[in-house]
Amino acid sequence: MSQRTLVLLKPDAVRRGLVGEIIGRLESKADWRITALELRTLEKATLEQHYAEHVGKAFYPPLLDFMLSGPSIVMVVEGERVIEGVRTLAGPTDPIAAAPGSIRGDFGTIVRENLIHASDSEESAEREMKIFFPGLV
């Protein structure tokens, strides 16, 4: 089942020079391809839409500050079961709990700066792709 998902490489990943390493892992999965990609400093309004489900939580204001702190890579990845697949490659939200071999498990230590965002369902993917790539068909 071919799908599309919205992936962000967060400002920590860009600052630390991990873009090539992380994209390499995504590209190495059989049949997956990147169909849109941009290095972009995200706007506050965009992030407010993207993280709307987290408004009111204690981690929300510092999360937005962090996401505004430098450019991110914004991309769409397409391929077989890619929504669940990128979440698996990323690992769980807390990088210390994430298994070695996962992106968060290999490179992260603190929860906020966990390197990557990936849509968590078909519904989220559709919603998020429209936020970041409104022209995408």
User: Which residues lie near ligand IDP (CB under 6 A)?
Assistant: 59, 63, 93, 111-112, 114, 117, 120
Query: Which amino acid appears at position 20 of this protein?
Result: G
Question: What is residue 119's three-state secondary structure?
Answer: coil
Q: How far is the CB of 102 from ligand IDP (least distance, A)?
A: 11
- For residues 93 and 109, which CB has a smaller minimum distance to ligand IDP in the complex? 93
- The DSSP element (H or E) to which 116 belongs, if any, is strand 116-118
- For residues 24 and 62, which CB has a smaller minimum distance to ligand IDP in the complex? 62
State yes or no: is 54 an active-site residue: no
Question: What values do phi and psi take at 3, rounded to 5?
Answer: -135, 170
Strand ranges for 2-111 from DSSP E: 2-9, 33-40, 72-80
Q: How far is the CB of 137 from ligand IDP (least distance, A)?
A: 26
Q: How far is the CB of 115 from ligand IDP (least distance, A)?
A: 9
Q: Which residues of 22-52 are buried (b: 16+ CB within 10 A; e: fewer)?
A: bbebbeebeebeeebeeeeebeeeebeebbe
The single residue of 4, 117, 125, 132 carrying the catalytic annotation is 117
- For residues 111 and 131, which CB has a smaller minimum distance to ligand IDP in the complex? 111
**Catalytic center residues:** 117
